[in-house]
């Protein structure tokens, strides 16, 4: 639709110049003024002429009438002035032939805007804390992060996906202590991350005590844990070996979930990687006179910017979360020379990012404005909030497993003879969770209701994957058809479908501009809706003549291309058969 809008805008500008040859107006400005009317009676596109009143010093009604007079562009079937609006009705055949030709020619690249040529984006997402459970709170950063990566890649950016593992810190001292006290090798080898999480929960309980369970607090254990971490920092071989092993075990678990989602990272450099890169940045802060000592700790005062101070060093000289983020950003700038660095985390970390972004700016790094924080809201399940501290969490793995199991049950009833049933149930189950999650504006808090996510009739993942499979089966049944024959569009549903398919690119642009994958899920629902209305109202294989049948098959093929490309942007698998 971008190029159609441009064509129309140029024609409007030409009309305006005929009447007022010194008007300062360009096609880009007019194109941005074009709107999609809420009601089809008002056309497919409309120009609200009051937007031109000032420039042309004329009334909207007058402008609309003048532009409409003798207006003629090949893609426009009819155009009329109504109450200060210039309403445009597009030509169905033109739209259909355009989308069919472009989707055919560009294939997997259809809908891709040309935004990122020669530019690099680094994306920091998922980034779980090792040996702590990978729970549904991580769903957001993982799938929003990956969608943003896919969107940028689609638009031609070079992308670097970074999993900034939380792989350093006092929690490892605790884990080492717990392992030596209660753990054993075979069990950890066998049960993997579950055994580690158990040890971690147990040691935390022992350190802080648990009134309910009658366990008294044990501060000596906390000291022990701190000492073990200190040994790690000093490079103690045994502790480092244990730490590496814990990281490996945790990663192996995360990889299973990433594989289900089709996610791969380009870098797993976690927090530990930056330990030796922080001193230089701390020195720089000191040299610039930005560090202030406050109660023994080193901070950067941000009062002037309406924020609490950013903590750089604790009283004992140890570094903090912001210190590491600053060092990591500098390293990434030097390594990848990014044009944009995106961080996806829960909104709970918004202040942290605002603070250290400001510090980077104050340090004089001229790329500070290229840092982008993308926050998202909380997730609850059937109304219940997550409680991480008590170990009462829902693991992502289990959430996926439940969804897959339920889908398998539904499929057993619907289509018991389907080949490759297990794989398909996995794709649809995982897809259902992802689609449901990404259907909301990312900043909104979500209440996850499994039944809603899995419904085959609602606005869900299964519904859109089913629609994709429907395009595949129509095309398979249709077989070869004449792709060079002239098109014949006879129904409003065909025009509507073509029009919807042509809006893919501008939705991709919008999703990238706003860092909002939900733009794509909503668009996919629009396409699925338009395709299903077309499918139900227009007989494809039994069309009244060959020309109409060819047109409908070609439209189906274009719909398949668009759905498939859009699925790829939001971690959804293309399911050929359901």
Contact residues toward ligand ARG (CB under 6 A) are 124, 127-129, 164, 166, 325, 343, 345
Could you write out the DSSP letters of every residue in 308-355?
PPEEEE-TTS-B-HHHHHHHHHHHHHHHH--SEEEEEEEGGGHHHHHH
Instruction: Return the structure tokens found at 131.
Output: 């040996």
Which of residues 373 and 470 has its CB atom nearest to ligand ARG in the complex? 373
Which of residues 159 and 454 has its CB atom nearest to ligand ARG in the complex? 159
State the residue number with the nearest CB to ligand ARG.
166
For 129, phi then psi, to 5°, come to -90, 120
In the complex, the smallest distance separating the C-beta of residue 348 from ligand ARG, rounded to whole angstroms, is 8
Which of residues 164 and 523 has its CB atom nearest to ligand ARG in the complex? 164
Alpha-carbon distance values, 26 to 289, 317, 476, 480 (Å): 49, 59, 46, 45
Cβ–Cβ < 8 Å for 107, 566:
no
In the complex, the smallest distance separating the C-beta of residue 164 from ligand ARG, rounded to whole angstroms, is 5
Cβ–Cβ < 8 Å for 239, 408:
no
Which of residues 343 and 436 has its CB atom nearest to ligand ARG in the complex? 343
Instruction: Return the structure tokens found at 564.
Output: 């498939």
In the complex, the smallest distance separating the C-beta of residue 238 from ligand ARG, rounded to whole angstroms, is 26
In the complex, the smallest distance separating the C-beta of residue 377 from ligand ARG, rounded to whole angstroms, is 15
Which of residues 102 and 124 has its CB atom nearest to ligand ARG in the complex? 124
Which of residues 362 and 374 has its CB atom nearest to ligand ARG in the complex? 374
Cβ–Cβ < 8 Å for 443, 377:
yes
Smallest CA-to-CA distance from 460 within 407, 384, 402 is with 407
In the complex, the smallest distance separating the C-beta of residue 192 from ligand ARG, rounded to whole angstroms, is 19
In the complex, the smallest distance separating the C-beta of residue 272 from ligand ARG, rounded to whole angstroms, is 12
CA angle 531, 535, 537 (to 5 degrees): 115
Beta-carbon contacts of 311 under 8 Å, excluding residues fewer than 6 positions away, are: 297, 298, 299, 320, 322, 323
Q: Is 367 exposed, middle or buried (0-12, 13-18, 19+ CB in 10 A)?
A: middle
In the complex, the smallest distance separating the C-beta of residue 191 from ligand ARG, rounded to whole angstroms, is 23
Which of residues 276 and 480 has its CB atom nearest to ligand ARG in the complex? 276
């Amino acid at each position: 639709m971008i190029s159609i809008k441009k064509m129309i805008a140029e024609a409007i500008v030409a009309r305006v110049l005929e009447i007022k040859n010194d008007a300062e107006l360009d096609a880009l400005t007019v194109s941005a003024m074009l709107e999609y009317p809420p009601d089809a009676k008002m056309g497919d596109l409309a120009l609200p002429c009051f937007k031109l009143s000032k420039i042309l010093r004329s009334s909207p009604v007058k402008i609309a009438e003048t532009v409409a007079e003798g207006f003629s562009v090949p893609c426009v079937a009819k155009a009329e002035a109504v109450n200060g609006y210039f309403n445009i009705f597009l030509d169905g055949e033109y739209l259909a032939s355009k989308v069919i030709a472009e989707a055919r020619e560009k294939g997997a690249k259809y809908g891709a805007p040309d935004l990122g040529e020669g530019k690099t984006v680094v994306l920091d997402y998922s980034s779980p804390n090792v040996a702590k459970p990978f729970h549904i709170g991580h769903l957001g950063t993982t799938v929003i992060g990956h969608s943003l990566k896919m969107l940028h890649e689609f638009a031609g950016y070079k992308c670097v996906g970074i999993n900034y593992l939380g792989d350093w810190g006092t929690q490892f001292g605790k884990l080492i202590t717990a392992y030596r006290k209660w753990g054993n090798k075979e069990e950890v080898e066998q049960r993997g991350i579950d055994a580690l999480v158990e040890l971690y929960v147990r040691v935390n309980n022992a350190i802080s005590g648990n009134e309910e369970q009658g366990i008294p607090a044990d501060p000596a254990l906390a000291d022990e844990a701190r000492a073990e971490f200190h040994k790690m920092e000093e490079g103690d071989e045994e502790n480092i070996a244990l730490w590496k092993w814990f990281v490996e075990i945790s990663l192996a678990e995360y990889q299973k979930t990433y594989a289900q989602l089709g996610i791969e990272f380009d870098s797993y450099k976690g927090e530990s990687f930056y330990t030796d890169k922080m001193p230089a940045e701390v020195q720089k802060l000191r040299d610039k006179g930005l560090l202030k000592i406050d109660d023994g700790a080193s901070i950067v005062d941000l009062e002037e910017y309406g924020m609490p101070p950013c903590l750089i060093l604790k009283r004992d000289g140890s570094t903090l979360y912001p210190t590491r983020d600053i060092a990591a950003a500098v390293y990434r700038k030097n390594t990848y020379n990014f044009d944009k660095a995106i961080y996806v985390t829960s909104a709970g970390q918004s202040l942290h990012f605002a603070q250290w972004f400001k510090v980077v700016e104050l340090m004089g790094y001229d790329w500070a404005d290229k840092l982008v924080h993308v926050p998202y809201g909380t997730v609850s399940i059937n109304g219940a909030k997550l409680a991480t501290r008590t170990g009462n969490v829902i693991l992502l793995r289990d959430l996926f497993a439940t969804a897959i199991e339920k889908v398998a049950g539904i499929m057993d009833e619907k289509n018991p003879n389907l080949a490759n049933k297990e794989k398909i149930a996995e794709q649809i189950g995982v897809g259902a969770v992802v689609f449901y999650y990404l259907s909301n504006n990312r900043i909104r808090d979500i209440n996850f209701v499994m039944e809603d996510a899995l419904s085959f009739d609602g606005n869900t993942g299964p519904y859109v994957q089913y629609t994709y499979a429907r395009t595949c089966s129509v095309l398979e049944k249709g077989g070869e058809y004449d792709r060079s024959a002239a098109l014949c569009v006879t129904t409003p549903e065909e025009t509507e479908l073509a029009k919807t398919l042509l809006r893919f690119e501008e939705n991709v642009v919008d999703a990238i501009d706003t860092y909002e994958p939900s733009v794509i899920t909503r668009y996919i629902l629009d396409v699925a809706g338009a395709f299903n209305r077309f499918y139900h109202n227009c007989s494809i294989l039994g069309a009244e003549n060959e020309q109409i049948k060819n047109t409908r098959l070609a439209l189906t093929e274009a719909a398949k291309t668009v759905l498939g490309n859009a699925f790829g942007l939001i971690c959804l698998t293309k399911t050929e058969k359901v």
